[in-house]
């Protein structure tokens, strides 16, 4: 059974008389243990889709099931429980509480659930897992951007969610730090089997995952697995192109030659 299943998912924003179809009938199935990326230009609907999948937004239409539980008819309270128990969020801006230590930040989501005496130990283990065991007592201002994001990743995992949703998690980081964040997420995926969906406009980030879904105008225009030509085309942003880069260069050279001949 898929961990996430969307069918004809739609989100329409109304601004006065005009409507924006931010997510326009998306069907998507994600299996447990997948490590995938959602790509697309700015405004293509990536954040809206992720927020719908994470039950932060209610869709205008369509169906959505998380871990086999339909969520469309759920009350606000039920949605809050689903978010807390089944979904881990990671954001571009880390969103750590500045007055709390790294460990306290990781433990924060535990406050909103049933008491778990082992929570503190698990939070420590997660900090170790993301390579920050030594920094447990530091506050966010005493940590680099990459370290803050790793704290945020540990926090996203503390309630053992079915899926982690990350919106541009490397958007504020330089490329070397971005690589360590991707390596951390990949380790968590391999070692703990965590299902991870990353929104990014960075082809390097998306290219290190196993599957890329490309959006354009709120629709899926490519959904490809790593290791194929179609995957590389989807990364490059031209999923409908029939010709590869090499072929395009030859086509252009041919045109230049013809002009040089005075044709």
Name the helix (H) or strand (E) containing 84: helix 76-86
Furthest-apart CA pair in the chain: how many Å? 82
Q: Which helix (H) or strand (E) element contains residue 195? A: strand 195-199
The stretch near ligand ADP (CB under 6 A) out of 38-46, 58-66, 92-100, 105-113 is: 38-46
Position among 9, 38, 47, 154 found at the interface with Mg ion (CB under 5 A): 47
Site for Mg ion contains 216 (CB under 5 A): no
15 binds, among ligand ADP, Mg ion, none (CB under 5 to 8 A by kind): ligand ADP
Residue 40 sits in the site that holds ligand ADP (CB under 6 A): yes
Mapped onto helix, strand or coil, the DSSP state of residue 63 is strand
Nearer to Mg ion by C-beta: 104 or 168?
Answer: 168
Q: Which does 216 bind (CB under 5 to 8 A by kind): Mg ion, ligand ADP, none?
A: none
**Which pair of structure tokens corresponds to residue 15?**
């601004």
Residue 147, C-beta contacts closer than 8 angstroms, at least 6 positions apart: 102, 132, 135
Which distant-in-sequence residues (6+ apart) come within 8 Å of 100 by Cβ? 108, 139
C-alpha span between 29 and 6 (Å, rounded): 6
Among 24, 44, 209, 223, binds ligand ADP (CB under 6 A): 44
- 44 makes contact, choosing from ligand ADP, Mg ion, none, with CB < 5 to 8 Å by partner type, with ligand ADP
Six-digit token string for 53: 């999948």
As given in the structure block, the two tokens for residue 116 are 């778990």
Contacts of 172 (CB under 8 A, 6+ apart): 92, 93, 94, 145
**Residue 47 binds ligand ADP, judged by CB under 6 A:** yes
CA atoms within 13 A on the CB side of 138: 13
Q: Which is nearer to ligand ADP, 42 or 141 (CB)?
A: 42
CA atoms within 13 A on the CB side of 106: 31
**C-beta of 127: minimal distance to Mg ion in Å?**
28
- Name the residue whose CB lies closest to Mg ion: 47
Which of residues 22 and 132 has its CB atom nearest to ligand ADP in the complex? Answer: 22
Residues touching ligand ADP, count (CB under 6 A):
12
Which residue from 3, 6, 22, 126 is in contact with ligand ADP, where contact means CB under 6 A?
22
Residue 45 lies near ligand ADP (rule: CB under 6 A): yes
Q: Which of 20, 74, 79, 226 binds ligand ADP (CB under 6 A)?
A: 20
Strand partners, 64: 6
40 touches, from ligand ADP, Mg ion, none (C-beta below 5 to 8 Å by class): ligand ADP
What, of ligand ADP, Mg ion, none, does residue 13 touch, CB below 5 to 8 Å by kind?
ligand ADP
- Residue ranges in contact with ligand ADP by CB under 6 A: 13, 15, 20, 22, 40, 42-48
């Amino acid at each position: 059974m898929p961990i996430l299943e969307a069918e004809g998912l739609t989100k329409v924003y109304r601004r006065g008389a005009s409507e924006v179809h931010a997510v326009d009938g998306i069907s998507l199935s994600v299996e447990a243990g997948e490590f995938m990326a959602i790509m697309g230009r700015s405004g293509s609907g990536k954040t809206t889709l992720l927020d719908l999948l994470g039950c932060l937004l209610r869709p205008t239409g369509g169906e959505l099931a998380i871990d086999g539980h339909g969520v469309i008819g759920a009350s606000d309270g039920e949605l809050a429980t689903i978010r807390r128990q089944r979904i881990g969020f990671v954001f571009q801006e880390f969103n750590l509480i500045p007055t709390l230590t790294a460990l306290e930040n990781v433990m924060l989501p535990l406050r909103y659930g049933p008491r778990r005496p082992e929570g503190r130990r698990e939070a420590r283990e997660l900090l170790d897992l993301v390579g920050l065991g030594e920094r447990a007592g530091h506050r966010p201002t005493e940590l680099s951007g990459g370290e803050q994001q790793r704290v945020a990743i540990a926090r996203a995992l503390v309630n053992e969610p079915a899926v982690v949703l990350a919106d541009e998690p490397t958007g504020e980081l330089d490329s070397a730090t971005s690589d360590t964040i991707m390596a951390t997420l990949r380790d968590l995926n391999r070692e703990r089997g965590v299902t991870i969906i990353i929104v990014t406009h960075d082809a390097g980030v998306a290219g290190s995952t196993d599957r890329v879904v490309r959006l354009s105008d709120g629709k899926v225009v490519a959904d490809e697995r790593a290791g194929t030509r179609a995957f590389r085309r989807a990364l490059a942003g031209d999923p409908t192109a029939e010709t590869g880069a090499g072929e395009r260069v030859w086509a252009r050279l041919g045109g230049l030659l013809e002009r040089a001949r005075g044709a």
